[in-house]
Amino acid sequence: MSANKPGNTGITRLIKAFGYSMRGFASCFKSEAAFRQEVAASLLIVPLGLWLGQTGMERAMLVASWLLVPIVEMLNSAIEAVVDRIGPEHHELSGQAKDIGSAAVFLAITLFLLVWALVLFPHLINNP
């Protein structure tokens, strides 16, 4: 579906785009266990990041570094869905696409851990 169909302008386009986004969230939540786990973790991590950050910038970095994880997970899930749609047989490029998507999720998690470590434990990089 596309919110950019002829006649979909202004607020109508925004409302339809919002509906498609909500449908995407629901689909990912229903079909992807990793995404459900990340949503559950968000219920703890986001408030914790807001509480632990001492400045607005720290809070933003802590929360944003986490929110990048489910964003990348959703993109990975979209890649997997397209690859699976093409066909069930194994193909080297299909496996490569899925592995690259998985690597992107891994990097997002690594970034999250690095940001939290550097923000919460600045003494790790600041020598006295």
Measure the CA angle with vertex 107, ends 104 and 110; round to 5°: 155
User: How far is Cα 79 from Cα 97, in angstroms, rounded to an integer?
Assistant: 7
Pick the catalytic residue from 32, 38, 58, 73: 73
Backbone Cα Rg of the chain: 19
**53 and 119 Cβ atoms separated by less than 8 Å:** yes
Specify whether 32 is catalytic.
no
Catalytic (active-site) positions = 73
